[in-house]
Structure 1
Amino acid sequence: MVWSREFLAALVVGSLCASSVAQTTIYQAEGAALTGVTVETSTAGYTGSGYVDGFDADGDKITFTVNSDTSQLYDLSIIYAGIYGEKYTTVVLNGGAGSQIQLPETSSFTTLSGGQLLLNAGQNTIEIQSNWGWYLIDAISLAPSGERGSHDITTTPVNPNANSDARALLNYLGSIYGSKILSGQQDQESLDWVTNNVGKTPAILGVDLMDYTESRTSRGASSTDVDKAIAFANRGGITTFCWHWGAPSGLYDSSDQPWWSGFYTEASSFNIATALADTSGTNYNLLINDIDTIAVELKRLQSAGVPVLWRPLHEAEGGWFWWGAQGPEPAKQLYRIVYDRLTNYHGLNNLIWIWNSVDAAWYPGDDVVDIVSADDYTEGNGPISATYNRLVDLVNDKKIVAATEVGAIPDPAQLQAYGADWVYFCVWAGDYISGGQWNSLSFITSVYNDPYVLTLDEIQGWKSTN
């Protein structure tokens, strides 16, 4: 949404650093408390008496003080200019959990949604913090949130030949969507840590098909993740696979960029756009060969009766993985090739297809996506509501939404307060779950004992009842 300067001016009520919020109200950035940033006027189109520039160092921020008559949920909008390219900012309410907000590139001041904020009755602080910096902040606005209607999601798989296992899984997810959230943990060792230290086991095990393809196995890599997934499914659990796809060729394999980092853009010369442009070329055939290799492993899961929450080409829009390095069109094309090859050529009917980017320009289409998702590594155990709302809007609330990777587990109470109805979360492995910085043991324990959060013991029989 873009508002005209005239419309904004009609809403402005001065700098308003401490005003009661009763309707849509603009808070000018130049009237907030400034830390490490400056008020400027050289870029035209701002409202008020200026805008705030800087945000080029850790700790740079602006702090708004807002009074609310009641404890209430508000829609936040941010009026900004992204003249230095696409960036990210972090919004922090009352010194608590942060929410990462994408700021697309713009040529002028623009208004976009910053998600929702649950203001306390009385005084509140809202910080706009430097994240991936260099953007201009003109103002923010707050308006009381309306009631969210009932979800209108589909649980019909995009693959018309999806088998009964896949259909049961998607039906089960639909049956709990909006009322419960499934707990998930990446990596078997980290899942076992949760079991041993919390006394409950996550409902979902996250594993990876990374070490099954030629560019890695030829250098000594191996994996038992498929076996772990089958074993976990036999315990009544649900499995999700990502694929850190090592570039099929062009690995630098240097001290700075070792072969095992070959899924990163900077670790190889592999160019997805040129590979897809020549369907008779070596690199295109290497892509197909890798997909065929992965199909062998997915068929093992299908034969074992294991439906898979399947998340290929994750985080494409970030560009840090080679499949997203050339922009949205090659990434979407590759995703459709993977879908077609696995579904129509290999007859894999046990897959629930998950897309893992938020930007609409990257979305490959409703006909090849069952679930939309995002990965979020914002600290503070917040509800990640801004990202959730963007995903709901992306698919017009027609598909289930999942938090497929998180560093900080979202607080169940905040999830319910914000109406951020993620169907599951999956915490990344290692220190993210066990190190104590991202999630304290006491907090993890409280989450796993919360009635809103489903664990392995609480989902037994999900397949037979769906």
Structure 2
Amino acid sequence: MKDPGVTGGAAPDVVRRRHVFVLAALVAVVLSLVVAPARVHADVAADPSASASTRAVADWLAHLRHRAGNRVVSGHFGGYSGGTFALGQIETLHDRTGQYPGVLACDYAGGWNDNGTPADWHDNYPTTIDHSCNPSLIAWWKSGGLVSVSVHGPNPADPKDFHSRLADFAQLSDPSTALGSRWRDQLDQVAAGLRELDEAGVPVLFRPMHEMNGAWFWWGGQSPSAFTRVWRAMFDYLTTTKGLHNLLWVYAPDCGPQQRTAYYPGSDVTDVVGLDCYTDTPASLNGYDELLTLGKPFAFTEMGVGTTGDFDFRAWIEAIRTRFPATAYFLTWDSVWSPVKNQYATELMNDSWTVNRGEIDLAARTEPGGTPITGPSTPLADFESGTQEWTGYKVKNGPWSVTEWAAQGTHSLKADIDLGTPESYLLHRGRLDLSGYTAITAFARTAPWGNHAGGTTAKLYVRTGDGLTWRDSGSAVAGPDGVTLTLPLAGISGLNDVREIGVRFAAGDGAGGGTSIYLDQVSLVRPAMPLADFESGTQEWTGYKVKNGPWSVTEWAAQGTHSLKADIDLGTPESYLLHRGHLDLSGYTALSATIRTAPWGNHAGGTTAKLYVRTGDGLTWRDSGSVVVGSDGVKLWFNLVGSSGLNDVREIGVHFAPAAGAGGQSAIYADAITLR
């Protein structure tokens, strides 16, 4: 959340997403379809006894990333229960945009007032937990929305001190201690509110102890092992002892500091991973790729811009589409950070990727077509400038480049078809050399009209050589939300002589009537390209303002057995590991490197590092932004999207900067420099 008493720190929470739920009387029917044993996918809820509706929400969120559109749920923070909680801004947002956010969030504790002390503190141990927002949350769920709860609870050691790090944090997992007993009392109060929601059948995206990797809350900056023990004890107490089976547990570090995954308590006690991020340049933020490795649905659990005022919320949805496409939901804060204060609220809430209240259908989940593959991609066809030599086969009319639907941009390819015809195609004929690529991806969709019976399927295919040998992605249902199709190219011969590429649509048995088919964003995926792994030496990398080196060493490595190392003096303000020479990075979307500092030397507040490139004759500098790096290492990500001059990169490197007060000798390391 945004704390008015802290600068440069954490930020607000909110969740975004559309959904068609149904009336309360029909919920049981829908859920019987959602969680039937015949489902291919195992339930993804961490709580093995989670309610049917809770498992349905977890499973639905996990499948959103496979859609071609309507795939990111919108959210909005309603306020602090018993204090600022109100729906006024959300109603205003609806009046302005025609949309209600998919997720409504409430906080069960006020946390602070303008002086930084708990709002209702009194001499005895206070009861600052309040869940009077529950009736609004229950009504929201019944209206087809999702619900989130966070808790800015009081410090068990000193309720007047909300921001200072709790020194004996580990005692919270032991109820026999004074701190543990007070913490258990607080959990009991939280559990009372969550039980009220459970009895009303409301699943909850429960986000406790968020931004734990920061230093602005009493639970922040703790030992990762102690944090894990407290989280797991809290999970066991609320789930097993209290019998609350309506919770989806959300792990939400801040995107600014390092150690975004260091506090991760484990996949068996976590359902969603997310980031709380406030930045004016969302496309360049760090942490997304790092959290995706945890294998859980990802969300921007608080999302906004670093400065208040009329910032451009369009930058956020654009960043989600281009840099963070696996995002399941986002949550914006209230007050001055609310989209209602922004002239671009309509664009945010009505984007083709946004799912709002009334558009959430827990029974509708999209399976991927083919094995999902990630990597740098090259657009093959986006249909922004017309049909781009794509044609139709066994279609009724078209194809045309249209604006009525698009997975990205403003246009897609459309053709009318007769569902009584067993198959139809959108395709491109002509010789293509796809050697060196790892996959083809595309977004396919069908119009909602017409009788699709069991569902119209789509498959992405190529035909190679004189014999037009056929290979495809396998079939996936392509409904009005669309589906992401992926055709892996590994093992396919003749890729240097592709004669046809396309998508085959097949109507189900019993289908009939007219409808339309759509295609968008056909792209070629390249493998990540290692720039330097230092297995064979320094590979023309050098040091600047270092004391000795660099050398290729075996004492530490992120991958393989070697990394690049140089000795530095921590009294020197900066040092570099770098490569000079002409490089063409055009077509790549990101640059990554894993870096480390040695544990010896006085690093004071922590040595920071940033990944950078310098382009053109003027050596224009662009970098990833600084993060603190220690002896356990950190992966740096530099977003290249939108950077000019990438065809003429003159220097690439890592800049290290010791903190004020640092001193003595140490060493810096870099490994696995990779283009994606």
SS in 1 for 2:147: strand
Q: Separation in 1 of the partners of 2:226 and 2:358? A: 42
Contact 2:283 2:319 in 1 (8 A): yes
Higher relative contact order (CA 8 A, sep 6+): 1
Q: 2:102 is matched with which residue?
A: 203
Match of 1:400 among 269, 294, 297: 297
Letter matched to residue 444 of structure 1: A
Cα deviation code 1:290-314 (max 9, x no counterpart) = 1111111101000101000111110
- The residue identity in structure 1 corresponding to 2:280 is E
- Map of 1:308 onto structure 2: 204
Corresponding residue of 1:186 = 77
Contact 2:224–2:262 (Cα < 8 Å) also in 1: yes
Look up the match of 2:60: 172
Contact 1:216 1:246 in 2 (8 A): no
- Whether the 8 Å CA contact 1:265–1:325 is kept in 2: the answer is no
Structure 1 residue 384, shift from structure 2 partner: 5.7
Find out whether 1:160 has 2:48 as its counterpart: yes
Q: Classify the secondary structure of the residue corresponding to 1:166.
A: helix
Instruction: Evaluate the alpha carbon distance shift between residue 196 and residue 263 of structure 1 in structure 2; reply closer, same or farther with a 3 A threshold.
Output: farther
Counterpart of 1:350 in structure 2 is 246
C-alpha deviation, 1:224, in angstroms: 2.2
Provide, for residues 124-159 of structure 1, a one-character-per-residue CA deviation record: whole Å limited to 9, x for no partner: xxxxxxxxxxxxxxxxxxxxxxxxxxxxx9751111
Candidates 264, 275, 281, aligned match of 1:374? 275
State whether structure 2 residue 330 is matched by structure 1 residue 425. Answer: yes
Could you tell me which residue of structure 1 aligns to residue 357 of structure 2? 456
| Pairing 1:361–2:269 present | no
Q: 1:415 to 1:218 in 2, by over 3 A?
A: closer
Q: Are 2:238 and 1:238 equivalent residues in the alignment?
A: no
Deviation at 1:419, TM superposition (A): 4.5
Q: Supply the AA of the counterpart residue of 1:247.
A: N
> Judging changes above 3 Å, is the alpha-carbon distance between structure 1 residues 238 and 167 closer, same or farther for their aligned structure 2 residues?
same
Residue matched to 2:155: 247
CA–CA distance in structure 1, aligned partners of residues 214 and 194 of structure 2 = 26
AA at the equivalent of 1:182? V
Decide whether the 8 Å contact of 2:274 with 2:298 is kept in 1.
yes
Per-residue CA shift, 1:303-328, capped at 9, x if unaligned?
10100011111000102111124332
The question of 1:412 aligning with 2:309 is answered no
Where 1:347 maps in the other structure, the secondary structure is coil
SS at match of 2:144: coil
CA distance, structure 2, for counterparts of residue 384 and residue 234 of structure 1: 37
Aligned to 2:137: 229
How many residues are matched?
292
Aligned mates of 2:186, 2:173 — CA distance in 1: 18
Match of 2:49, SS state, is coil
Q: Which residue of 1 aligns with 2:218?
A: 322
Displacement after TM superposition at 1:181 (Å): 0.5
2:284 and 2:138 mapped to 1: Cα distance? 31
Tell me, yes or no, if the aligned pair for 2:110 and 2:119 is still in contact at 8 Å: yes
User: Residues 187-225 of structure 1, C-alpha deviation per residue, up to 9 Å, x if partnerless?
Assistant: 13332231122221111111111159xx86664855522
Q: Kindly tell me: are residues 276 and 175 of structure 1, through their superposed partners in 2, closer, same or farther at Cα, counting changes over 3 Å?
A: closer
Of Structure 1 and Structure 2, the greater strand share is in 2
1:164 partner amino acid: A
CA contact (8 A) 2:279 2:285 kept: no
Letter in 1 for 2:317: P
Counterpart pick for 1:389 among 289, 309, 324: 289
SS in 2 for 1:160: coil
Structure 1 residues 431 and 330: CA distance shift in structure 2, 3 A: same
Which secondary structure state, in structure 1, belongs to the residue aligned with residue 205 of structure 2? strand
Cα distance change of structure 1 residues 433 and 154 upon mapping to structure 2, 3 Å threshold: farther
Partner of 2:509: none
Instruction: Assess, with a 3 A threshold, how the Cα gap between structure 1 residues 198 and 176 changes in structure 2: closer, same or farther.
Output: same
1:458 is displaced (CA, Å) by 1.6
Cα distance in 2 for residues equivalent to 1:265 and 1:175: 40
- Contact kept, 8 Å, 1:230 with 1:304, in 2: the verdict is yes
Letter in 1 for 2:157: S
Identity %: 27
Cα 1:325–1:415 shift into 2, 3 Å: closer
Q: Cα 1:448–1:434, aligned 2, differ >3 Å: closer, same or farther?
A: closer
> Equivalents in 1 of 2:291, 2:323: separation in Å?
15
CA deviation digits over 1:61-119, x for unaligned, max 9?
Answer: xxxxxxxxxxxxxxxxxxxxxxxxxxx9xxxxxxxxxxxxxxxxxxxxxxxxxxxxxxx
Note if contact 2:173-2:230 (Cα within 8 Å) is conserved in structure 1.
no
**Corresponding residue to 2:195 among 270, 292, 299:** 299
Quote the offset at 1:334 in angstroms: 1.4
Residue 332 of structure 1 aligns with which residue?
228
Residue number in structure 2 paired with 1:42: none
Listed one character per residue, the Cα deviations across residues 311-357 of structure 1 (whole Å, up to 9, x for unaligned) are 11100010211112433222222111110100110111111111112
TM-score normalised by structure 2 residue count = 0.40
Structure 1: runs of 5+ lacking an equivalent: 1-87, 89-152, 253-261
Partner SS state of residue 187, structure 2: helix
Does structure 2 conserve the Cα–Cα contact (< 8 Å) formed by 1:190 and 1:429?
yes
Contact 1:407 1:427 (8 Å CA) reproduced: yes
Q: Tell me the amino acid that sits aligned with residue 386 of structure 1.
A: N
SS in 2 for 1:457: coil
1:232 is paired with a residue whose SS is helix
The AA in structure 2 aligned to 1:172 is W
Aligned to 2:517: none
Judged with a 3 Å threshold, the aligned counterparts in structure 2 of structure 1 residues 411 and 277 are, in CA distance, closer, same or farther, namely closer
Contact residue 198 and residue 246 of structure 2 kept, 8 A: yes
SS at match of 2:62: helix
Q: Which runs of 5+ in 2 are unaligned?
A: 1-7, 9-40, 79-86, 112-117, 254-258, 306-312, 366-676
Q: What secondary structure, in the 3-state scheme, does the structure 2 residue paired with 1:323 have?
A: coil
Distance (Å, rounded) in 2 between the aligned partners of 1:399 and 1:242:
19
C-alpha distance 183-282 of structure 1, shift in aligned 2 (>3 A): same
Displacement of 1:161 after TM fit? Answer: 0.4
Question: In structure 1, how many angstroms separate the alpha carbons of the residues matched to 2:358 and 2:321?
Answer: 22
* Separation in structure 2 between the aligned mates of residue 420 and residue 369 of structure 1, nearest angstrom: 21
CA separation of 1:295 and 1:415: change in aligned 2, threshold 3 A: same
Cα distance, 1:175 vs structure 2:
2.3
Matched residue type, 1:189:
G
Q: Quick check: 2:73–2:328 contact (8 Å CA) kept in 1?
A: yes
**Paired residue secondary structure (2:299):** strand
Q: Distance in 2 between matches of 1:355 and 1:277?
A: 18
Question: Matched residues in 2 for 1:177 and 1:189: separation?
Answer: 31
Q: 1:337 to 1:384 in 2, by over 3 A?
A: farther
